[in-house]
Amino acid sequence: MIVLSFLRFCRGYVTFTAKGRFPERLLNLAAGRGINLWNPQPVAGGITGAMSVSDYKRVRPLARRSKCVLRIEKKRGVPFFLRRCRGRAGIPVGAVLGALLIVFLSQFIWSLRIVGADNLSETKVRECLAENGISVGIYKGDIDVDKIERDTLMQLDDIRWLSVNLLGCTADIEVSEKAKKPDIMSLQPCNIKAREDGVITSVKARGGFAEVKEGSGVVKGDLLVSGVKMSKLDTPQFVHADAEVMADIYSERELKIPCRYSYISISENKTERSRLKLFHREFPVSLSFFGCENAAYSEREQTLCLDDTLLPLSVRTETEYALAESTVSLNTEQAQQIFRNAELLYEVFERPAGAVKQRRLTVSEEDGAYVCHFSCVFNENIAEPVEFSVTEG
C-alpha cells in the first residue's frame, strides 16, 4: 500500500468532487473505460474520489454524459510540485541532488556500536574489526559479515561469540565475553611451607599437623604444617593442609638518588591543530603548525551525535606540548621526603597484606648521591601450600 501511494504521488493525482444528477453513472462509465478511481465516497448530492492527472482529463467527457459537475479539491504529487518550481530550477535540482547524496551516503557505514563488551576493551575490539574489514566509512558492499565474525573470533580469545548486524548505516556488533573459570579450591594433599624467612608469631592450622611453634625461626621453604601423619598402624595419612602462619619478616632495602639530576617535563607552551573528519577524509580547520624539536603529543576526537547515532563527522584536535629540561639540586630534607614516599609506595603496593611493626630509615651522602637504607619488620602470613603426589617414593 505504501509503494502504491508512493507511485501515485510520483505520477501526481487529484481529489475531486462530482455533483449532479447521476454521480453513480460517472463511476460506472469510468470503470467501463478502465479509468482507475480510488477512495470514492458519497457526499451530499454527489461523490468524492481521487484519480491520476492523466485520467482526470479522460473523465471530463464522462462527467458531462452523466450530468455531473467536476471540481478539483486538491492537487498532489511531483508534477504539481515541479510546476510550482518552474521559475526556480534550483529547488528541484537541489532536491534530486539531495536524494542522490542520501542514496550515496547510505552505502557506507556511519557508526559502529559495540554491545556487550563489559570487561573487554572496546578499542581493542574496534581495532580488530578494522583489521578484518569493518570500520566507520567503509563501503557496505565490501563487508563480508561471516568472514569478519570468523576472523575476529579467531583473534580475540576473550570472546565466546560475536555477531555483526548491519542496520542501515549502523553496524551493531554484539559481543559475548567468555565466562571466567571459577577458582576451584584444591583438596589435593599438600604441605604448608614458608614463603619467606621470619620468626613465627602465631600458627592457626585448620587442616594438617603443625610442625612449628610460636617463636620458631624459619627460612624460605621450611615445612610449617605437614599434610602427612603416620597412624598407629604405621600407615601414612594424607590430608590437605590449610593454615595461617603469621611471622615477623625483616626487610632491608637500599635506594640511591643523585644530588643533582635533570629531567624532562611538559611546559606551558603548546600548539593545537584541528581537523574536520568526514568518513576517512580529513580537512584542516586551523592553520597552526607544529615546530618544537622535542615535544609530546595528545589527540582527542569529538564525534557529532544525533539521537544516539554517531554521524561520520568529527573534529580531531592534536595538541603539541613543548618539552623542557629542568635541573634539580636536592638537599637532605628533600631527599628524605622522596625516600619516605618511595617506602610508603613499597609498603602499599608490594606488601599490601603485611602490617608494619618497625620501620627505620637512614640517609647518607656518598659520591654525589643520597643513599637511603630502609629496614622494616612486617608481620604477615607466610604460609604457602605446596601440593605433593601420594605416589612419590
Contacts with another protein, residue ranges (CB under 8 A): 23-25, 27-28, 30-32, 34, 37-38, 40-42, 47
* Nearest approach, Cβ of residue 59 and another protein (Å): 13
Using the minimum distance from each CB to another protein, give the nearer residue, 31 or 105.
31
* Nearest approach, Cβ of residue 44 and another protein (Å): 10
- Three-class SS string for 87-129? CCCHHHHHHHHHHHHHHHHCCECCEEEEECCCCCCHHHHHHHH
Which ranges of the chain would DSSP assign to H, the alpha helix? 2-11, 23-32, 53-65, 78-84, 90-105, 122-132, 145-155, 332-349
* Nearest approach, Cβ of residue 24 and another protein (Å): 5
Using the minimum distance from each CB to another protein, give the nearer residue, 34 or 141.
34
Q: What is the maximal distance between C-alpha atoms in the chain?
A: 126
CB atoms within 10 A of CB 10: 11
Q: Helix, strand, coil shares of the chain as percentages rounded to 5?
A: 25, 50, 25
Q: What are 293's three cell numbers?
A: 624539536
* Nearest approach, Cβ of residue 62 and another protein (Å): 13
* Nearest approach, Cβ of residue 14 and another protein (Å): 18
Using the minimum distance from each CB to another protein, give the nearer residue, 30 or 156.
30
Q: What is the DSSP string of 238-297?
A: E-B-EEEEEEEEEEEEEEEEESEEEEEEEEEEEEEEEEEEETTEEEE--------SSEEE
Using the minimum distance from each CB to another protein, give the nearer residue, 26 or 372.
26
Using the minimum distance from each CB to another protein, give the nearer residue, 6 or 38.
38
* Nearest approach, Cβ of residue 73 and another protein (Å): 17
* Nearest approach, Cβ of residue 75 and another protein (Å): 23
Q: Which residues contact 75 (CB under 8 A, 6 or more apart)?
A: 12, 14
Using the minimum distance from each CB to another protein, give the nearer residue, 1 or 230.
1
Contact predicate 68/43, CB 8 Å: no
Using the minimum distance from each CB to another protein, give the nearer residue, 25 or 359.
25
Which amino acid, 194?
A
